[in-house]
Structure 1
């Protein structure tokens, strides 16, 4: 309780404040009697010291020393029984007490020090009991709100009414975590407040009060346990000094109930997330053989089969200068993925989030051309929040959930392709391989064997004739077997083309009207270009 409240206690109404009036709001938590001159080493913070002044009556300097020591140690007040050993408090002592804002109280003659101590202790206990009773009632009201299913928003509204200050609930990144989701003004101060918030979480009386330079508005932060490892913050618009016990107790009870509700919601979400993620990973691993089973299970998790999907696979970029352990890097990636999931849930509709090993998977349902902008925004937020970069591989559009497996493989391949180029913070789109890229995947021995087999009929003719025949055959196939167009491109007569084509059919032993034969020849000519480029290298 405060000094001013103690002076209003009926049994102590004869006590009179004679100095240090500006300190009348000091807190009293205990009371002590001065029965020896060496009391100074035993002084405690928020302590009300009462004395008959017997030990200082002939030594005013000791009284001055005592007043200085009490002010330095944060004592509540000094009570002196005058008109007994000390007729009146020295003027210089009163001046010093006023300067130090240390209240000096003149104690009544008709009460012994023992009675004053008893009455004061009883008043402190009664005051504390009243506070606890009020806190218990507040806790019941908050608990009732949650038990009745009214939700966290209703609890915050009730808390705001009780303390007469607007309140917000934010995560550890100072982002609102209740609807409507908004970016709080103070989120811009995250980097500046980060160290203070870490100390705040370890404090025995945790709250942080600060003012915005631009708006000149004051905010007070209180940590809220959201799970075993996650801490959020209750943000009060306005200053809540620790001396305002009623407001602090009310906020503490609100935080207790909020923590319970948030931890319960977190546990349920974690369970649902785990079940959903397990289904998706089993699907990617081919655990379901029947299409109907996949479609029905996906429908349970709001993943309709008849919808278009775009699959994106993200991975935290490796940092060569990162000397953290594997477990530390893994934890950092988990925190980052959790941040992405929360951000997507709050701001981006129709995006499903999953994790697999060291990657995260974003499944855009009914995507539009804005997905690149969304991914770029995520990269910027991650750099700002974690000072870390992340890269994404993007699949082609698929037209049903059954095709998502192929889309996932495309996204992984796109991500790997970007990593091979040693880029960071990239968005790599999957590109379908052309024939030349596919041919490069075939062993060189098999390529040479196929080429020699197709053109084996040309091995017994002169090199000059072979070159002219193959050139004519290549142009002929490129012009879709058009004689006139082939002659035009080669600058030869039409009959020359007819002759050369007939000669080619003779050497090949195949008709160029056979689609299979023309396909093999087209591939062989592609192989020729591949071999020529390899030889030149």
Structure 2
């Protein structure tokens, strides 16, 4: 089943501010102040025109604000810090005044800057004890009217905290390309040098718009691994300074990229001739290494900020149940190994996925808005269109855009059009069920649409009925995994026990004994066409659900 949609909308991403010190990089997550000091009274200057007001703790209006968080999950201990200004609707603890009080206690203990609460949507008032506690410690609690979108508060706060439109303030944005791909293209166009960057596992992070085929790597797919069984990256692990290694046997120079002494990437400068090798001077490569790191950080900042705005806007749509023109959900899956990549504390790999998915979706001619619903194991995208469209039209457009991208190894499922956000939960469940069926019916395709599922369209609808699920459990529940798999293979081979035995790598007698056991447990006759129909039906429903 799909995870709770509100949880998804509440998992807000945050901006990264960075600085470059010598050859090392320093950064912090969340939206942090850059220049002038911001105080709670400055926040009130923003809030008052929006009819915001102090509920209590106005004596704390000189508290300093160093970062801002939009958060609904209750585990404040994990992320809140001194100077944090928290915006919330108290959704996750709406039914528990005790938990609301506990959250405010944690904010006070952590010396947070203050709390902005949206009353009216999920709670109508704060517990009396919470207000008294905040007043005692002069902890500001500010009320935001429920009809005011978060973005109207966040935008001016970001500007005050020196974050503007997702760009780093000067000097970081000076003479830098917008993306790392543009930087690598510049190196290729100016000098004919093919270059790319991999993570410590040897998986591709960035490459320009050119083909690649050498002894180390032969494709440009995002997060694809290089060709070599072994890697020389281990020799870089404990370095703390940028240096450039000559790997002449591989026709390249390589430079490890560090954050606080930890390796997060390796820059490859390849060459095909002595002339190209001579072009790659230490100064030239050092310049591009520095530019890459600054451009990467600039881009991460922009992506984080874009994702934040995207999710805040989606949250507002969900809370107020706005009606859009035409909405279609996409379910996205990458190769399985992507979900097992080692965590990198410096780079959020999901931002690279967000970036390339957005490029693919922005190429759709009729799309109006794109909203991302992300989860560690699931990614869904909500598309709204100005005019009516069909999933078959979108499928053709997506197939073309996907094949021209760095994520053409990804797979997408397209749901059916709908109009209101009240349908979001059911539509999420619906689109996720399309993916496994599409993979099964069309194993060589990358985009699946609901209208091409044939009879499975009706099975998806039936799989949501409790009575149907109870019936399936009654029929198949007695079978263990071995018997269930045997039944699946037997039916797929049209009841041929010999072929079943061959596929299961067992003798025919073993299959016969298993089939006899299945008939006894399920109380069916495998020679009866009605029983075969029932078993096939139950297996398909189980497969979908």
Relative contact order, CA 8 A, sep 6+: which one is greater? 2
Task: Work out whether the TM-score is over 0.5.
Answer: no
* TM-score, structure 2 normalization: 0.35
* TM-score, structure 1 normalization: 0.36
Structure 1 or 2: more strand by fraction: 2
Query: Who wins on radius of gyration, i.e. which is larger?
Result: 1
Structure 1 or 2: more helix by fraction: 1
